[in-house]
Structure 1
């Protein structure tokens, strides 16, 4: 997406993310506070938090988390890497990505999602 006001407005309207058979209602981490806090101290049930950023390799942590999370890294509307993180861990994505989806860990074969198309629903 271009970095102009129109694309920013469109990005802020993302409400769901669909990957294969999985569909998530998302909270968009669209400001500094939401990005810094992420899922810490938050129970989002079956939802997910979506982080959008310029293409890069990102690192994340699960400090202060009360439960394990699954993380999906996205680039060019495809899943490029996945991981499951227990509380109090760090992880550095080995691939470049432009988005990251975090959600409470569940019984999902994350490896099978690599290469899957990601659909952003407005």
Structure 2
């Protein structure tokens, strides 16, 4: 189990970060899950856009560049919607909606431990 940490503040953003870095894991993502544990997330890489088709709950997103710098934040993405393609994004972290209430900002670097 990896934690997601804001390198600027030292704050733990997520207690349990899983990684989807194979074709099947990226394709599956969070589709079909009834919910996600409160302080968990999924890092999809490589990735520069996501969809929420066949999802049952809203999510927040962090789009990261190759240095794990946050280049875009999206909150409250509803089931059945899709994100824009984010230029420069190399990975995306999906988490339950309402997790990112002021804990990060564009330009922050995140790390795992």
* Number of positions where the alignment pairs a residue of Structure 1 with one of Structure 2: 105
Structure 1 unpaired stretches of 5+: 1-13
Counterpart CA distance in 1 for 2:89 and 2:45 is 9
- Give me the TM-score of the superposition, normalised by structure 2: 0.79
Calculate the aligned-residue CA RMSD, in Å.
Answer: 2.2
Displacement after TM superposition at 1:15 (Å): 2.1
Q: Deviations over 1:38-93 (max 9, x none)?
A: 1112232120001122xx7x221100111100010111121110112111001113
Mark the structure with the bigger radius of gyration. 1
- If each structure's strand is expressed as a fraction of its own residues, which one has the higher value? 1
- If each structure's helix is expressed as a fraction of its own residues, which one has the higher value? 1
Structure 2 unpaired stretches of 5+: none
Superposition misfits of 4+ residues, deviation over 3 angstroms: 109-112
Question: CA contact under 8 A between 1:82 and 1:110: conserved in structure 2?
Answer: no
